[in-house]
A and B are shown apart, each in its own frame.
Chain A
Amino acid sequence: MENHLLSIVTFLPVFGAVIIALIPKEKLDIIRWGAAAITGLQLILAIWILYIFDFSSSEVQLQEHFAWIPAFNIEYFMGIDGLSAPMILLTALLSFLAVFTSWNIEKAQKGYFALFLLLDAGMMGVFSSLDFFLFYIFWEVMLLPMYFLIGIWGGPQREYAAIKFFLYTLFGSVLLLLGMLALYFISEPHTFNMLILAEHSSQFGNALLLGMNAGKVIFILLFIGFAIKVPIFPFHTWLPLAHVEAPTAISVILAGVLLKMGTYGFLRISFPVLKDATLWFALPLAILGLINVIYGAMAALAQRDLKKMVAYSSVSHMGFVLLGMAALTPAGMNGAVFQMFNHGTISAMLFMLVGVVYDRAHHRDIEGFGGIAKVVPIYAGVTAMAFFAGLGLPGFSGFISEALCFIGAFPVFTWITIFATVGIVLNAAYFLWAYQRIFMGELNSKYENLEEINNRELFALIPLAVITFFLGVYPTPMLNLMSSTLNHLVEAVKTAGMVAGL
């Protein structure tokens, strides 16, 4: 059955942005509630999509086809499977909650919410498009609002952070474009359709590009494009800056959704389309994952700025995703995608909490607090929960996904996995140490009158906390959602490797 749910979910925010642009800027409440209504509606639609989604099938569902530029065989092709469905839910959820985190934006609110909605549309588009060209357009369209959101509403170094983010990601995008065009011209018949490209996977392993194996060259091109987004060491240097300078809600989106696009790109395009090259690159990918885990955690340990610490913790957590997917085992793959979702919710919580304290104290220096748990017990409690979730304590969703990543990776990359477990200890170290310095000990007299977290902020945090806790105790629904697609993907890559004699 053909319906247009995905298009509606994707373009609803564009419609919202236009509406908001038409509201006079003095009507602040209408603007905010308008944005909340649009993203709320989007969230309801996303949940409905999951409701009608057939969990047992690895097929692409809710497909929409429309011949867009027939001359180049470019299609408007939307559809979701078990890989994109969790991401759609995550995007809708975080967009909705981030509107509430943006409530106190001080200047040019109208422009802010309009751009925010455009960003939302771009993200939805990336996760629901199955034509590479369409995917690329959405991928790029996202950059513009992000550039303005960081550059206008960010912190003191916002202009530098914005252009650095833009230059880095555009650099990645042009390599992506090159890889995309190479895929298009090698595939016979020429197509951008990801599903057909995946079926013709063997063509790329046999073709030559620049005198080398085309599959490998294209894999490297796409790899750099996606790696910048994840970000994988050594392409991560834009991240701490952008995360720290961005306003809270945008940090939430950056960490919660944008980073996932990199790993999503691997699983959506690189893995299924370039199966031989994937097997060839699995070990380097696992090693890079290990570096991310250890390096991110070490860097987080060294930070005095709380937001920077959380930013580096993202680098570390994305390392688990890389390790899990590089293993190419069902457990690792499911763990990786589950970790993508969990990191989305947990890091969103962490950034929101950093935002809460920054709004009140106007600084984020870990050393500059001390003992504030006595003044703001509720805030301290929620933070404790988020930190525990972040360090992967059993009972929270992060534990399950990290454990799955390790279980999946251990038989394949035994030593790498053993070293990666050190990351867990380091993760615990910086979270606990930071918690201790901020909330425990002598109360810093400056903060005797620190204001407690308010209801609006709690409203944004509680759904995430509930999800984190629920999936930590009962992860089955989420794993069911994605497992048939992911197991199918693992199988396909493995079979291709068997055929090629790898």
Chain B
Amino acid sequence: MNLNQIMTDLSYFIPEMMLTGILLLVILFDLFQKADTSIRSGYVALGGLILVTIALLGQDVSTSVGIFSNMLAVDPFGNFLKILVTVGTILVMWMSFNSNELKNRRVGEYYTLLLTLVLGMYFLVSATHLLSIYISLEMVSIMSYLLSGYLKEQMRSNEASIKYVVFGAFSSGILLYGFSLLYGLTGSADIFEIQAALSAGTVSPALMMIILVMILVGFGYKIAAVPFHFWTPDVYEGAPAPITAFLSVAPKAAGFAIIIRFFNVALSSAGNPNMEAWAALSNMDWQAVMGILAILSMTVGNVIALQQSNIKRMLAYSSIAHAGYMLLGVVVADQTGIAAVLYYAAVYMLMNLGAFFVAIHIKNEFDTEEIEDYKALGYKAPVLGVIMAIFMFSLTGLPPTGGFVAKFYIFRALIEYGDMYFWLAMIGLINGVVSLYYYMRVVKAMYFGKIELPDTVHHAPVNITILLSVLAIPLLFAWMLGDPLSTFAQNAVQFFIK
């Protein structure tokens, strides 16, 4: 690898380099800020991320390439997810400025850590080598541990962080073990070469199954799929609320990205990664394993969410269920299936961030996280109530919201694939009915029951109303406009193949 090659590779690496520069700038900038002005570091970070988004949108990914000796890939798939997580982070930062939990606190590091996490996700969504996969996964995880424990003096936040660390360390240990076995058996850590070795058929299927289960433990924990979900509710409840919102969408999307890339590249038959996703594993029913994970995630997530009274915990369990829906798309693993997952991830980001943001605002204003206490909110704060109702309907997947369109794409992909997934689709849809009950509990609390019309109406600050509308309005019109996002997602299903 010569210098010229490195220079060429670096030209594909501009957004990442920009992000690193901004990261360093924020650290330096923060040195000159007092505690009460440290929020300015956040503004710098936000501005920087907007620039990076522009760079990502402008990046030419028409020819996919592998850079740094195929450590990373630059392709439409990675680009889509980078944009997705960056936009998510921008929204979370916006909300963080309004969070009471973070008021009167030095927040310079908070934004630095968040930026580092974004960088980790950029690597994760484009990693094509076992080492880069592992390092970026750790980068994302460690930043997540730190951020969930950011409220140092709060017991719950500490508990969240410690639980997260213990679970995370355990599962990444297993992941690493699986990786090392895979490396030992195939003689390479490059996922393209692993694919070649696997297609040659020299690895015993039984051993391969064990390896894949180990790898799935590591990835499954990142996306909080059942049975690797045990950390989720406590972490989501204890972490600062904006971080909870963030964890439920961005690292999850990145986790799905690596699952899709790893399984579609490493395990596909040569040359056609999209149609024959599971071909290298023809003698084991790998789809069934994924399908069972999906069913478990949906069902367990939904059933436990039924019993939650705290809104953050309820959303935590519901996010497990949503991971299950997205896994259904992964099961299909063809063009339509993956496009559906990407679309779902984007819509899910809008609606889940929205629901969390309303919860944060309610916590700020009325100091409660109990669903019961949302009583008459629809009358006390009409705008907030309507917006929250939109998020709840969308999370349930009712037309005409974006949540319906996203689910429609997933189930469409399942049924198109054929007979064997019809049951999966049916279980998934019935799970949607179950989820209606707990999402509607929020709506019920806001609108039903004895109404005592309040004297004064609460109006959320303008910037929060704008933020929430930015999230809610696309959800309402997702079905109408011939769907630019869906075209975008469809075009994004192109991986770099060596």
A residues apposed to B, CB below 8 Å: 68-72, 107-108, 136-137, 140-141, 143-144, 147-148, 151-152, 158-159, 162-163, 166-167, 170-171, 174-175, 177-178, 181-182, 185, 208-211
Q: In the bound complex, how far is the Cα of B433 from the Cα of A424, in angstroms?
A: 38
In the complex, the answer to whether A174 meets B399 with C-beta atoms within 8 Å is: no
The residue that B415 contacts in the complex, of A72, A148, A175, A181, with Cβ under 8 A, is A181
18 sampled A-B residue pairs with Cβ under 8 A: A107-B453, A137-B479, A140-B399, A140-B400, A143-B398, A159-B444, A162-B448, A163-B440, A166-B436, A166-B440, A167-B436, A175-B426, A178-B422, A181-B412, A185-B415, A208-B419, A210-B419, A210-B423
In the complex, the answer to whether B430 meets A174 with C-beta atoms within 8 Å is: yes
In the complex, the answer to whether A107 meets B482 with C-beta atoms within 8 Å is: no
Q: In the bound complex, how far is the Cα of B286 from the Cα of A451, in angstroms?
A: 73
B418: nearest chain-A partner, CB-CB: A185
Chain B residues within 8 Å of A211, by CB: 419
Interface size on B, residues (CB 8 A): 34
CB contact under 8 A between A185 and B416, given known A107-B451, A148-B447, A163-B444: yes
The residue that B425 contacts in the complex, of A68, A144, A147, A178, with Cβ under 8 A, is A178
Chain A residues within 8 Å of B404, by CB: 140
Q: In the bound complex, how far is the Cα of B451 from the Cα of A68, in angstroms?
A: 41
In the complex, the answer to whether A174 meets B433 with C-beta atoms within 8 Å is: yes
B409: nearest chain-A partner, CB-CB: A72
Q: Is B429 an interface position by the 8 A CB rule?
A: yes
Q: Is B218 an interface position by the 8 A CB rule?
A: no
Give the distance to chain A from B405, nearest Cβ to Cβ, in Å.
10
Chain A residues within 8 Å of B453, by CB: 107
In the complex, the answer to whether B429 meets A151 with C-beta atoms within 8 Å is: no
Q: Name B417-454 residues within 8 Å CB distance of A.
A: 419, 422-423, 425-426, 429-430, 432-433, 436-437, 440, 444, 447-449, 451, 453
A68: nearest chain-B partner, CB-CB: B482
Q: In the bound complex, how far is the Cα of B412 from the Cα of A210, in angstroms?
A: 16
CB contact under 8 A between A174 and B422, given known A152-B448, A163-B440, A163-B444: no
Give the distance to chain B from A211, nearest Cβ to Cβ, in Å.
7
In the complex, the answer to whether A209 meets B422 with C-beta atoms within 8 Å is: yes
Chain B residues within 8 Å of A209, by CB: 419, 422
In the complex, the answer to whether A178 meets B483 with C-beta atoms within 8 Å is: no
Give the distance to chain A from B161, nearest Cβ to Cβ, in Å.
38
Q: In the bound complex, how far is the Cα of B436 from the Cα of A147, in angstroms?
A: 12
Chain A residues within 8 Å of B379, by CB: 108
Give the distance to chain B from A292, nearest Cβ to Cβ, in Å.
24
In the complex, the answer to whether A210 meets B398 with C-beta atoms within 8 Å is: no
In the complex, the answer to whether B433 meets A171 with C-beta atoms within 8 Å is: yes
CB contact under 8 A between A167 and B448, given known A178-B425, A185-B415: no
B417: nearest chain-A partner, CB-CB: A185
Number of A-B contacts (CB under 8 A): 83
CB contact under 8 A between A151 and B483, given known A181-B411, A182-B415, A210-B419: no
Give the distance to chain B from A221, nearest Cβ to Cβ, in Å.
9
In the complex, the answer to whether B449 meets A171 with C-beta atoms within 8 Å is: no
Chain B residues within 8 Å of A71, by CB: 483, 486-487
B404: nearest chain-A partner, CB-CB: A140
Give the distance to chain A from B443, nearest Cβ to Cβ, in Å.
8
Chain B residues within 8 Å of A181, by CB: 411-412, 415, 425
Chain B residues within 8 Å of A107, by CB: 451, 453
B420: nearest chain-A partner, CB-CB: A210
Q: In the bound complex, how far is the Cα of B437 from the Cα of A182, in angstroms?
A: 27
In the complex, the answer to whether A137 meets B400 with C-beta atoms within 8 Å is: yes
The residue that A159 contacts in the complex, of B423, B429, B448, with Cβ under 8 A, is B448
Q: Is B393 an interface position by the 8 A CB rule?
A: yes
Give the distance to chain B from A222, nearest Cβ to Cβ, in Å.
14
Give the distance to chain B from A156, nearest Cβ to Cβ, in Å.
11
The residue that B399 contacts in the complex, of A136, A147, A185, A210, with Cβ under 8 A, is A136
Q: Name B441-498 residues within 8 Å CB distance of A.
A: 444, 447-449, 451, 453, 479, 482-483, 486-487
Q: In the bound complex, how far is the Cα of B379 from the Cα of A107, in angstroms?
A: 12
Give the distance to chain A from B194, nearest Cβ to Cβ, in Å.
34
Give the distance to chain A from B452, nearest Cβ to Cβ, in Å.
10
B449: nearest chain-A partner, CB-CB: A159
Chain A residues within 8 Å of B483, by CB: 69, 71
Q: In the bound complex, how far is the Cα of B415 from the Cα of A151, in angstroms?
A: 35
Chain B residues within 8 Å of A137, by CB: 399-400, 479
Chain B residues within 8 Å of A182, by CB: 415, 422
Q: In the bound complex, how far is the Cα of B483 from the Cα of A158, in angstroms?
A: 38
Give the distance to chain A from B332, nearest Cβ to Cβ, in Å.
13
Q: What is the interface of chain A mostly: helix, strand, loop, or mixed?
A: helix
The residue that A210 contacts in the complex, of B416, B422, B436, B482, with Cβ under 8 A, is B422
Given A68-B482, A71-B483, 10 more A-B residue pairs with CB atoms under 8 Å apart are A140-B398, A143-B398, A163-B444, A174-B429, A174-B432, A177-B408, A181-B415, A182-B422, A210-B422, A211-B419
Which 3 A-B residue pairs are closest in the complex by CB-CB distance? A174-B429, A140-B399, A181-B415
Q: In the bound complex, how far is the Cα of B444 from the Cα of A70, in angstroms?
A: 38
Q: In the bound complex, how far is the Cα of B404 from the Cα of A469, in angstroms?
A: 45
In the complex, the answer to whether A158 meets B398 with C-beta atoms within 8 Å is: no
Q: In the bound complex, how far is the Cα of B208 from the Cα of A429, in angstroms?
A: 73
Chain B residues within 8 Å of A166, by CB: 436, 440
Give the distance to chain A from B66, nearest Cβ to Cβ, in Å.
31
Chain A residues within 8 Å of B426, by CB: 175, 178
In the complex, the answer to whether B449 meets A167 with C-beta atoms within 8 Å is: no
CB contact under 8 A between A170 and B436, given known A143-B398, A178-B429: yes
Chain A residues within 8 Å of B436, by CB: 166-167, 170
The residue that A69 contacts in the complex, of B416, B419, B423, B482, with Cβ under 8 A, is B482
CB contact under 8 A between A152 and B447, given known A144-B393, A174-B433, A209-B422: yes
Chain B residues within 8 Å of A158, by CB: 448
Give the distance to chain A from B287, nearest Cβ to Cβ, in Å.
17
A151: nearest chain-B partner, CB-CB: B448
Give the distance to chain B from A17, nearest Cβ to Cβ, in Å.
13
Q: In the bound complex, how far is the Cα of B436 from the Cα of A170, in angstroms?
A: 9
In the complex, the answer to whether A144 meets B429 with C-beta atoms within 8 Å is: no
Give the distance to chain A from B478, nearest Cβ to Cβ, in Å.
11
Q: In the bound complex, how far is the Cα of B448 from the Cα of A166, in angstroms?
A: 14
Q: In the bound complex, how far is the Cα of B433 from the Cα of A189, in angstroms?
A: 31
Chain B residues within 8 Å of A163, by CB: 437, 440, 444
Q: In the bound complex, how far is the Cα of B404 from the Cα of A107, in angstroms?
A: 32
Give the distance to chain A from B428, nearest Cβ to Cβ, in Å.
9
Chain A residues within 8 Å of B422, by CB: 178, 182, 209-210
The residue that B430 contacts in the complex, of A70, A152, A171, A208, with Cβ under 8 A, is A171
In the complex, the answer to whether B400 meets A141 with C-beta atoms within 8 Å is: yes
Q: In the bound complex, how far is the Cα of B439 from the Cα of A163, in angstroms?
A: 11
In the complex, the answer to whether A151 meets B444 with C-beta atoms within 8 Å is: yes
Q: Name B375-396 residues within 8 Å CB distance of A.
A: 379, 393
Chain B residues within 8 Å of A148, by CB: 447
Give the distance to chain A from B371, nearest Cβ to Cβ, in Å.
14
In the complex, the answer to whether B429 meets A177 with C-beta atoms within 8 Å is: yes
Chain B residues within 8 Å of A152, by CB: 447-448, 451
B479: nearest chain-A partner, CB-CB: A137
Chain B residues within 8 Å of A210, by CB: 419, 422-423
In the complex, the answer to whether A167 meets B433 with C-beta atoms within 8 Å is: yes
B407: nearest chain-A partner, CB-CB: A177
Give the distance to chain A from B421, nearest Cβ to Cβ, in Å.
11
Chain A residues within 8 Å of B432, by CB: 170, 174
In the complex, the answer to whether B398 meets A144 with C-beta atoms within 8 Å is: yes
Q: In the bound complex, how far is the Cα of B410 from the Cα of A177, in angstroms?
A: 12
Give the distance to chain B from A24, nearest Cβ to Cβ, in Å.
13
A170: nearest chain-B partner, CB-CB: B433
Q: In the bound complex, how far is the Cα of B420 from the Cα of A210, in angstroms?
A: 7
Q: In the bound complex, how far is the Cα of B422 from the Cα of A479, in angstroms?
A: 42
CB contact under 8 A between A178 and B415, given known A108-B451, A143-B398, A151-B444: yes
Q: In the bound complex, how far is the Cα of B348 from the Cα of A12, in angstroms?
A: 32
Chain A residues within 8 Å of B451, by CB: 107-108, 152
Q: In the bound complex, how far is the Cα of B447 from the Cα of A420, in angstroms?
A: 44
Chain B residues within 8 Å of A108, by CB: 379, 451
Q: In the bound complex, how far is the Cα of B252 from the Cα of A109, in angstroms?
A: 43
Q: Name B308-336 residues within 8 Å CB distance of A.
A: none
